[in-house]
Chains A and B, each alone.
Chain A
Amino acid sequence: MVVLGFIIVRGLKPFFHSYRETLADGSLAEGTASFSYFWSGIRYNNRFDFETHHYLYGIGHLIVNSLILNLYTIILAVPTSVLTALFISKIAPKPLALILKSGVDLLSAIPSVIFGVFGMGVIVPLIRAWARAWGAKSASGVSLLSGAIVLTLMVIPTVISVSVTALDGVHKEQMEGSLALGASRTQTNFKICLRAAKSGIFAGIILGVGRALGEATAISMVCGSPIQGITWNPFAPTVTLTSEMLLAIGEAVPGSMNYDIRFSAGMVLMLLILMTNVILNDVKNHLSEVNPPPFFIARIGKVMKKGTLAVISSFRKSWQKHKAEKEKKQ
């Protein structure tokens, strides 16, 4: 909580504190960062607006790009890890399952920089070749897709190990029940085990998404560094919140606007992760319960409705009281 407070205080500083800096063209700038441009802008280090005395740093595109990158990652990672987990837990013979499990453990122990190096050395050239073969434009393979693949590699160990635990916990009775109805092994695995373990699997996905959203080093290496813009094209380079925060950090002077605005971006990242977690947890609860509670947003709506009704009814009561008293007086 203290930490969160610190981040918020520091993250808001660029919007209130005035920075005096010499710009690249030699002119002197002094002012705060523009709050509206910060959210809506699609260019990170745009310029200094001399009319309003605002630095124009936009991170709107960074947020969207982060979400897009994560969407691609989820699309790649979820089937891979869920099916691998199913294989490890239910299909593979024991020695093979053990090998795979240790392999997954090993994969999860690899630091993200090494994933970055691997991505640069192997995945980026592969994507470049692929893009050429398809005739798609790509900035030497540094792209959204390479980022998503590297992230997938980093995320799957987490999702797999949590999913394996969930699948191992599926009651034997349910599998037997399915088999006794004349379902085959594979049908049982896919229809019963996956369904019974879905909330556990979803918990793993939540963890994975958290990790993917916060991943910085590897992404900054393989995703490129376009100055601006939102992209859906898997072959185009992209820039996310985390990679922008690391980008050219060595050149940013501590205490400058360029340095401090990164903390604001960090604050946004934190909020983004928090929000995704809340939403995904809500979905998970919805999945896991027999009588699912309404979604968070619906719950908020309910509380608000209740509150409004309470306020209205109290008003009405006091009004009636008032009226009654008035009548009494008369």
Chain B
Amino acid sequence: MDSLKSEQNESMQTIFAIRHLNLYYGKKQALHDINVDLYEHCVTALIGPSGCGKSTFLRCLNRMNDLIDDCKIDGQILYHGTDVQSVNPILLRTKVGMVFQQPNPFPMSIYDNICYGPRCQGVRNRTHLNELVERSLREAALWDEVKDRLKTNGMALSGGQQQRLCIARALAMSPEVLLMDEPTSALDPISTKKIEELVMSLKERYTIIIVTHNLQQAARIADYTSFFLLGDLVETNKTETLFSRPSNEKTERYITGRFG
């Protein structure tokens, strides 16, 4: 495995350390012996062809795979040194937020959408919630567009706005990590650009792990990039290194567009 050979930046702190991760859907193995470290306050992009396991891997990080009936996980996913399998998934998910491929705002007002997570954790204080809504929407660069209509239904926004609402919703939980599962694949180029800018600005405060189909996008926004192929983690490296001098032949063939 090449993953552990990636250049380590000493100043970076590891937030996720994945050791010998194997994942099975029933009898079918979807991930083979994944070993990788993910660093704090970085954007890590996961690239690879469809069905290579990158989304599955991402969903392991906040245990969303628990919801799939016949999904079995071997190995360790250490979050700050603690195995995520041993902690309460609900608390884990408050610290490791997630944004999905399809914008999925809840059928309620923008305000309620953002308050949903905190309210589930028992936050009732009105002024506190108001602050939270404004802060999250500002962070998600949506505040100026919706500040006059916080009571309108979240579904009434445009696709890009919906996705930013979903990001704001995740930010309202003050997570440490933001998992993004192809957040721009359902959006138009302008909305995509906005989301990308947003991601760049968010990495100051959050660790972002983003799955993307789009190699240019990975090159534009990611500090580190991991390449998945058929359930294997082929290579992880600094983005510029991976794209300019890939150490693995498969990676090279993929990024030069010869397959995938």
Contact = CB atoms under 8 A, between A and B. Distances in A.
Contact of B156 (A173, A174, A192, A291): A291
Interface string B46-86: 00000000000000001010010000000000000000000
A177 B91 contact: no
A176 B90 contact: no
B116 A173 contact: no
A196 B91 CA distance: 25
Contacts of A133: none
A174 B155 CA distance: 12
B188 to A, nearest CB: 19
Interface string B220-249: 000000000000000000000000000000
B93 A181 contact: yes
A182 B93 contact: yes
Contacts of A290: 107, 153, 155-156
A256 B91 CA distance: 74
Contacts of A198: 107
A169 to B, nearest CB: 13
A122 interface: no
Interface residues of A, number: 20
A182 to B, nearest CB: 4
B64 A181 contact: no
B256 to A, nearest CB: 34
Given A180-B170, A181-B93, A182-B94, A171 B106 contact: no
Interface string B141-179: 000000000001101100000000010011001000000
Contact of A187 (B108, B120, B155): B120
Contacts of B62: 180
A302 interface: no
Contacts of A179: 64, 67, 93
B67 A177 contact: no
A176 B120 contact: no
A330 interface: no
A187 B94 CA distance: 14
B100 interface: yes
Contacts of A187: 120
Contacts of A171: 104
Contacts of B116: 178, 181, 183, 191
Given A182-B93, A184-B90, A177 B153 contact: no
Contacts of B98: 180
B140 to A, nearest CB: 14
Contacts of A192: 106
Given A177-B104, A177-B106, A183 B117 contact: yes
Contacts of A181: 93-94, 97, 116-117, 120, 169-170, 173
A195 interface: yes
Interface string A192-212: 100110100000000000000
Contacts of B108: 195
Nearest to A180: B98
B100 A177 contact: yes
Contacts of B67: 176, 179
Contacts of A173: 100, 102, 104
A180 B90 CA distance: 8
B201 interface: no
A183 B166 CA distance: 15
A191 to B, nearest CB: 7
A183 B100 contact: no
20 contacts: A171-B104, A174-B107, A176-B64, A176-B67, A177-B106, A178-B116, A179-B93, A180-B98, A180-B100, A180-B170, A181-B117, A182-B90, A182-B93, A182-B117, A184-B120, A191-B116, A195-B107, A198-B107, A291-B152, A291-B156
Interface of A: 171, 173-174, 176-184, 187, 191-192, 195-196, 198, 290-291
3 closest Cβ contacts across the A-B interface? A182-B94, A181-B117, A180-B98
Given A183-B116, A184-B90, A191-B116, 17 more contacts: A176-B100, A176-B104, A177-B106, A177-B166, A178-B106, A180-B64, A180-B100, A181-B116, A181-B120, A182-B90, A182-B121, A182-B173, A183-B90, A184-B120, A290-B153, A290-B155, A290-B156
